[in-house]
Structure 1
Amino acid sequence: MKIGIYGQFYHKNSETYIQLILEALKKKNIEVLIEEDFMDIINLNDGVHTTATFKTFSKLDKSYDLFFSIGGDGTILKSITYVRDLNIPIVGINTGRLGFLATIQKENITESINKILEGSYSISERSLLQLTSDPVNSEISELNFALNEVAINRKNTTSMIKVETEVNGKYLTSYWSDGLILATPTGSTGYSLSCGGPVIDPSTNSLVITPIAPHNLSARPLVLPDSSVITLQVSGREKSYLVSLDSRIATFANNTRLTVQKAPFTIKLVQLPEDSFIKTLRKKLLWGEDKRNLKQ
C-alpha cells in the first residue's frame, strides 16, 4: 500500500499527532511519501522524529492508495488540487477546529488509522463545480474546479455589483448584491451557510445559489439540480471583480461570461463506520444540545 501525506501548517501540538500517524503507518510497513513543502515545515518545527526515513512528493499519480490530509477543512480543500481526478480516497484528520470534512479526530488517530488500513471504512463521494470563462482566464485554466463553492465578490469597492444569472440558457434574475455563491452540497455548510443558505446532505444531486447581502430582500437561496448549467455576467462601478474557487482567487474583467456546472469527476472522502453527515451536523452545530447543561 502506498500513502501520501499532506498538511499546510502546524496547529497546536501537531507534532504529537503527526508522530502518531507516521508510527502507525510504519508499523504496518506502508510506503509513505510526505508532500515536500509539508516535510520542510515538519523539519523546521523539529518536533517529529524518523522523518528521514520517508520520501517526499510534489505531484500525485494513480499509484497512491490513500491520501492523508492533516489539518482542518481548509487543508482538505487544498488537498483536492493534488488529488484532482485521480480517484485517490482522502483521509481527513482534523487537527484544527470545526472540521465538517476532516472528520477523523486527533484524539483517536491510532485506532482510526488501524481501522482504515484494515479496510473498515466507506467512501463518501462528493461532487465538484467547474468554472469556465469567455474570454479564457489563465489564472484558473488548470485548477478550474471547487469542492465547496464558486463565489463572485466585488473588488476595490463598497458598491454593489450586478450578477446577471441564467440557468440552462434561461434568464433567472439579476442579483444586486455584494456577490453570489454557487455551492455544492459539501459547501452548503461553509460560506453559503453563513450567508443564509440551506444545509444540504452531500449525497443529494444538487447545488445552491446564495446571494451575498442582496439589495432586494426577495432574493433568496435557490436549490437546483446539479445537472444545471449556470451562466453569469457581472458588472459594476469597478472594471473587475473577484472569483474564488474554494481558497483560490482570480480577477475577472466585467462582462466576462462565466459558466458554472458540475465537474466531470468526484472527490472521495474516507468515512469511518461510526461517522455520518447527520452525526457531524449534530456535533459541529450543537443540534439537540441543551445549552443549560453546557459549562460557561
Structure 2
Amino acid sequence: MKVAVYGIEFQSSVIPFVEQLFNLLREREVELWVYGSFDSFLSTFMECGTWKVFDKRDDLPSDINFMLSLGGDGTMLSAVSIIRDSEIPVTGINLGRLGFLASINKNDISSALDLLLKGDYSVEKRTLLSVSSSSQPLFNGDSFALNDITVLKRRSSAMITTSVYLNGELLNAYWADGIIVATPTGSTAYSLSCGGPIILPDSNNFVITPISPHNLNVRPLVISDRDVLTIEIESRSNEFLLSCDSKTTDLHTDVKLTVAKADFLVNLIRLKEESFLSTLRRKLLWGIDSRNY
C-alpha cells in the first residue's frame, strides 16, 4: 500500500492526533510519501526518516493508492492542486474547524484508516472550473478550482462592474463587490455565505453568485456546466482580484476572463455510511430546528 500525505503547519494542540496517524501507518507497513514542506514542519516535533518526500505530482509513483490531506478545507483544496488530473483519490482528516471537504474527524483516525487501507470506501467524481485569459497566463498553469473562481474589487471603497457573458450573450452587468462562480462542491462554501443555493454534487451545474450587489433584485443564478462564461471588469482603480480556490492574484481591468468546466475530474473518497446529505446535516446543521430540543 502506498499513501501520499499532504499538509501545512498546524497548531500544537493537534500534534497527538498527527502522531497517532503516522504511528498507525508505520504499524501497517504503509509506504509513505510526504509533501516536502510538510515533512520539514513535522521534523520539528517527530522523527521523519521513515518515508519518502515529494514536492510535485510528478515525484509520486504512478501506483499511489490515495492521498491524505491533514488540515481543514483550505488544505484539502491545496492538495487537489497538487494531484491535478492524476486521478489519485483524495480525502481529508479535519484538523481545523468546519471540515466540510476534510470530512474525517480527528477523533476517528484509527477506524477511518482501517476502512481506507481495506479499500472500504466509494469514490465521488467532482467537477472543477477552469479560468483563462488570452492576454496572459494565470496562476502558472494551476488555473482550476474545485470550489470556486471569484472576482473581487481591489480597493475597499468603490464597487466594480462585472459584465458576464453566457455563451457569448450578455447575461448581466453586476454592480457589486464582485461575483463568485462556484461548482456544486463549492456551493456550500463562499457562495453559500453570499446567499447562493446548495447544489448536489452530481447535478451538472454551476452557480453565479453576486457579492453584495447594489441592485437588490439581482440574485444567484444556476447554469449548466456546459456553459462558457466571459467576464469583463470595470473599476475606478483599474485593478481587481481574481481568486481560484486558495490562489489569488491582482489583475488589470484590461484582462478578460473565460470561465468554463475543467477538462478533468477529481476523485473524492467517501467512507462507509458517509454521504453528501449526511455531511450537510451534520456540518451545516441543515434542517435543525431548535424548537425540537
What's the CA shift for 1:156? 2.4
Matched ranges for 1:63-102 at <5 A: 63-102=63-102
TM-superposition CA deviations, 1:15-43 (whole Å, max 9, x none): 21112211222222211011111111112
Report the equivalent of 2:142: 143
Residue of structure 1 in register with 2:259 after alignment: 260
CA shift for structure 1 position 134: 2.6
Cα shift at 1:141: 3.6
Is residue 198 of structure 1 aligned with residue 212 of structure 2? no
Q: Does 1:216 align with 2:215?
A: yes
Report the residue type matching 1:169 in the other structure: G
Equivalent AA in structure 2 for residue 87 of structure 1: E
1:237-269 per-residue CA deviation (whole Å, 9 max, x = no partner) reads 111111000111111111321000000011111
Give the superposition deviation at 1:276: 0.6
Q: Who is 1:124 aligned against?
A: 124
Shift of 1:287: 2.7
AA partner of residue 53 (structure 1):
T
In 2: Cα distance, 1:141 partner to 1:10 partner? 27
The aligned counterpart of 1:37 is 37
Q: CA deviation at 1:207?
A: 0.3
Aligned to 2:279: 280
Q: What SS does structure 1 have at the residue aligned with 2:277?
A: helix
Secondary structure of the corresponding residue to residue 274 of structure 1: coil
The answer for unaligned runs of 5 or more in structure 2 is none
- Quote the offset at 1:289 in angstroms: 3.2
SS in 1 for 2:133: strand
State the AA in 2 paired with 1:168. Answer: N
CA distance in 2, matches of 1:5, 1:273: 21
Task: Give the Cα–Cα distance (whole angstroms) in 1 for the partners of residues 259 and 231 of structure 2.
Answer: 8
Partner Cα distance (1:158, 1:53) in 2: 52
**Whole-angstrom distance in 2 between the partners of 1:240 and 1:289:** 42
- Distance of 2:172 and 2:213 partners within structure 1: 12
In the alignment, what sits opposite 2:113? 113
The superposition leaves residues 263-287 of structure 1 with CA deviations (integer Å, 9 ceiling, x where unpaired) of 0011111111111111111111223
CA drift at 1:58: 0.9
Which position in structure 2 is the counterpart of 1:56?
53
The answer for unaligned runs of 5 or more in structure 1 is none
1:240 aligns with: 239
Q: How does 1:147-162 map to 2 (within 5 A)?
A: 147-162=146-161
Which residue pairs with 1:251 in the alignment? 250
TM-score (norm 1): 0.94
Task: Report the equivalent of 1:207.
Answer: 206
Deviation at 1:13, TM superposition (A): 2.7
Which secondary structure does the structure 1 equivalent of 2:113 belong to?
A: helix
Distance 1:250 1:92, change over 3 A: same
Once the two structures are TM-superposed, the CA of residue 65 in structure 1 deviates from its matched residue by 1.6
The whole-number CA distance in structure 1 between the counterparts of 2:291 and 2:169 is 50
1:14 CA displacement: 2.1
- CA distance in 2 between partners of 1:73 and 1:11 (Å): 16
CA RMSD of aligned residues (A): 1.5
CA drift of 1:293 comes to: 7.2
User: For residues 144-176 of structure 1, what are the alpha-carbon distances to aligned partners after superposition, in whole Å with 9 as ceiling and x for unaligned?
Assistant: 101110000011241111111111111111001
CA deviations 1:50-97 (Å, max 9, x no partner) are 422122111224332211100110100110111001000002111111
**In the aligned structure 2, how far is the partner of 1:176 from the partner of 1:241?**
14
Kindly indicate whether the alpha-carbon contact (under 8 Å) linking 1:11 and 1:71 is maintained by their aligned counterparts in 2. no
Instruction: Tell me if structure 2 keeps the 8 A contact 1:11–1:96.
Output: no
AA aligned opposite 1:178: D
Rounded Cα–Cα distance in structure 2 between residues aligned with 1:172 and 1:239: 22
- After the TM superposition, which of the residue ranges 110-119 and 20-29 deviates more from structure 2? 20-29
**Residues 117-156 of structure 1: CA deviation (Å, up to 9, x unaligned):** 111000111111000113113x424111011100000112
CA deviation map 1:184-228 (0-9, x unaligned): 000011110111000111121110000001111111000001011
Q: Does 1:271 align with 2:293?
A: no
